[in-house]
Amino acid sequence: MSERKLQGIAASEGIAIGPAFRYQPLHLEVPQRKAASPEEELARFEAASEQAREELATLRDLVLERADEESAAIFDAHAMMLSDPMLQDEVKKRVEAGRNIEQAVSEAVKDIAAQLSAMEDEYFAARALDVQDVGRRVLRILLGLPDTSLDKLSQPSIIVAQDLTPSDTARLDPQLTLGFCTAVGGLTSHTAILARTLGLPAVVGLGVEALDQIPDGATLVLDGSEGVVIVDPRQSTVKRYEKARERQKARLAEVQAVAGEDAYTADGRRVEIGANVGDLDSAREAVQFGAEGIGLLRTEFLYLQDTRPPSEEKQVGVYRAIFEAMEGRPVIVRTLDIGGDKPPSYLEFADELNPFLGWRAIRICLDDLPLFKTQLRAILRAAVGHRVLIMYPMISGLDELRQANAVLDEVRAELESEGLEYAPDVPVGIMVETPAAVALADVLAKECDFFSLGTNDLTQYTLAVDRTNERVAKLFQPLHPAVLRLIKQTIDASHAEGKWTGMCGELAGMKKAIPILVGLGLDEFSMVPRAIPEAKWLIRQLTSDRAAEIAEQALSLGTAAEVEAYMHQILEELGG
């Protein structure tokens, strides 16, 4: 048969080439026999549940050995569901109404799974699958069938299935598994998560019809980065993907080799790569992934976990722990950035028609000085002996910056007169996330030490697109030339005053944006920790001149789609 290309969702990176193994779950037929007494039926249920619990405990240990704690915990969750009062009640109710136990279990599970699926959320869909998985296990035991699942693999294969449950994959031998593709499922489905944990390529959500095009044993090429499955590939296609697989492997080795080193362009320009961090755990994670500092420390978590604002002492403790975890690397602390979309219970918010244009971030802090001062005091006190910078969010004009700095001066004077130890010379910067701040960047740069571009909000405000509104979500385009031009304007304005500009929005960690940003002269990038190794590698592939050319070309384009297409081509060229 000729080559066929199927498109699904890219769930786990990498390329696999090999024979398809069509996985068909055991067919479980619910018997129509007449029920014995409820006591007898329920006694069989109890015995089957007991065996199921033993199986789950065995699987848990097996998976712990082959994958990790998180994958193993799925079977703890299954054991919990098995003993769950809701499931027990639903089964009991049906047995008492005269159903046999197989019917009762099958119907109860179906009913609960339907309730969970009805919540139209990927997380609940996955739990619905868990409940069904537990139900199938009990039913299989009641029918006296063995626990086989995916242990029949005899040669290295790509698993092809409708969908896979944790029970299906528990006995899977990772040595014989080249990759996964499934008809249903999304990025957070069990298959996708398992594949990423095991470092195997996977494509999910191929569609039910697509499966009919994949016969058992057919040769497949699976590209987990593009979400593509090619059935019966031509010899030339196989050769092309084999080469790509080798390249990927080599690149992965290179990426890991440079992850721990400081980032430089190919011609030696220093670019700082920091991490966006929201708590102590993510600070530790950042260090592991090679962060050279924290480009954005979100402080909201302190304010949203309690029914009253955090005390100064509590904040000092939390900040200090994070600064210490960074072992001398710089940390940019963003002052409180909350609004009516995520209100803490102790702040009185009027019903806002548009919280993103409402009372939020620096506006709240300048209205509630005790709240603001407490945070600034805590930051300055915790900063002693560490490299700490302060950044105000959502500045839209010079008066806000001046007011905030005046409060900071007051706080310093208070700490001084109270004789408390504090760091007096903490650099102060602003988030550039409103078009107003960009327009005024030359003026603002004179009165602060640095800028940090918040591209999520800058994109939202520039393009007038509410990123939480699904109907316009596709118009949320951070690579829109309008946004790129504002970024350039901001960086240029800071450099003209001898100041620097960083970026802590999602754009900073996007591979397709990084060459442009390097070309525009961005000084510091801050991103989710796990994006850091790839970013460092990519920056090493660029010279300043080449990056400047790329930036100039990108900024001359008219639409986000054109920029995307151009950057796709550039990344291919760079081997990224």
Partner 1 sequence: MPQVEVTVQHEVGLHARPAALFVKLASSFPCDITIANKTTDGQPVNAKSILSVLTLGVNKGHTIVIEAEGEQADEAVAALKELVESNFGE
- For partner 1, the binding residue among 43, 47, 57, 80 (CB under 8 A) is 80
Q: Assess 112 for contact with partner 1 (CB under 8 A).
A: yes
Minimum separation from the CB atom of position 124 to partner 1 (A): 7
Q: What's the N-to-C CA distance of the chain in angstroms? A: 33
Give bridge partners of residue 203 from the DSSP assignment.
10, 181
Minimum separation from the CB atom of position 507 to partner 1 (A): 22
Query: Interacting stretch for partner 1, rule CB under 8 A, among 76-84, 400-408, 409-417, 442-450?
Result: 76-84
Q: Assess 77 for contact with partner 1 (CB under 8 A).
A: yes
- Which of 257/304 has CB closer to partner 1? 304
Query: Interacting stretch for partner 1, rule CB under 8 A, among 222-230, 259-267, 297-305, 373-381?
Result: 297-305
Structure tokens at 99: 């159903």
Residues sharing a CB contact under 8 Å with residue 474, sequence separation 6 or more, in sequence order = none
Minimum separation from the CB atom of position 196 to partner 1 (A): 17
Smallest Cα–Cα separation from 112: which of 135, 95, 92?
Answer: 135
CA–CA separation, 387 and 182 (whole Å): 49
Q: Assess 93 for contact with partner 1 (CB under 8 A).
A: no
Handedness of CA 361, 362, 363, 365 (dihedral sign): positive
Which entry of 78, 190, 386, 480 is annotated as an active-site residue? 190
- 190 is known as an active-site residue: yes
CA–CA separation, 306 and 346 (whole Å): 9
Q: Assess 208 for contact with partner 1 (CB under 8 A).
A: no
Minimum separation from the CB atom of position 154 to partner 1 (A): 36
- The size of the interface with partner 1 (CB under 8 A), counted in residues, is 25
Give bridge partners of residue 180 from the DSSP assignment.
159, 202
- Which of 114/357 has CB closer to partner 1? 114
125-144 footprint of partner 1 as x/- string (CB under 8 A): --x---x-------------
Q: Assess 87 for contact with partner 1 (CB under 8 A).
A: yes
User: Contact, 517 vs 492, CB < 8 A?
Assistant: no
Q: Cα 438 from chain centroid?
A: 29
Q: Is 309 left (phi over 0), alpha (psi -120 to 50) or beta?
A: beta
- Which of 235/307 has CB closer to partner 1? 307
Query: Interacting stretch for partner 1, rule CB under 8 A, among 113-121, 150-158, 310-318, 537-545?
Result: 113-121
- 568 is known as an active-site residue: no
- For partner 1, the binding residue among 40, 68, 115, 173 (CB under 8 A) is 115
User: Contact, 218 vs 19, CB < 8 A?
Assistant: yes
Q: What angle do CA 198, 201, 205 make, to 5 degrees?
A: 115
φ and ψ at residue 138, rounded to 5 degrees: -65, -45
Q: Assess 13 for contact with partner 1 (CB under 8 A).
A: no
User: Contact, 186 vs 129, CB < 8 A?
Assistant: no
- Which of 47/114 has CB closer to partner 1? 114
Structure tokens at 568: 């796709």
Which stretches of 67-142 are DSSP H helices?
A: 69-82, 85-96, 101-117, 122-142
- Which of 264/349 has CB closer to partner 1? 349
Q: How many helices and strands, by DSSP H and E, does the chain display?
A: 23, 16
Minimum separation from the CB atom of position 305 to partner 1 (A): 4
- Pairing mode, if any, of strands 228-231 and 219-223? antiparallel
Over the Cα atoms of the chain, what is R_g? Answer: 28
CA–CA separation, 149 and 168 (whole Å): 5
- For partner 1, the binding residue among 261, 262, 306, 573 (CB under 8 A) is 306
Smallest Cα–Cα separation from 526: which of 499, 505, 551?
Answer: 505
Query: Interacting stretch for partner 1, rule CB under 8 A, among 73-81, 259-267, 380-388, 415-423?
Result: 73-81
- Which of 19/186 has CB closer to partner 1? 186
Query: Interacting stretch for partner 1, rule CB under 8 A, among 77-85, 95-103, 219-227, 428-436?
Result: 77-85
244-283 footprint of partner 1 as x/- string (CB under 8 A): -----------------------------------x-x--
Q: Cα 514 from chain centroid?
A: 19
Query: Interacting stretch for partner 1, rule CB under 8 A, among 84-92, 420-428, 463-471, 557-565?
Result: 84-92
- For partner 1, the binding residue among 256, 305, 468, 559 (CB under 8 A) is 305
CB atoms within 10 A of CB 492: 15
Helical (H) or strand (E) element with 393 = none
- For partner 1, the binding residue among 2, 27, 33, 85 (CB under 8 A) is 85
Instruction: Kindly identify the residues of this chain, within the stretch 330-359, that bind partner 1 according to CB under 8 A.
Output: 342-343, 345
Helical (H) or strand (E) element with 576 = none
**Sites of contact with partner 1 (CB under 8 A):** 77, 80-81, 84-87, 112, 115-116, 119, 123-124, 127, 131, 279, 281, 301, 304-307, 342-343, 345
Return the active site residues.
190, 504
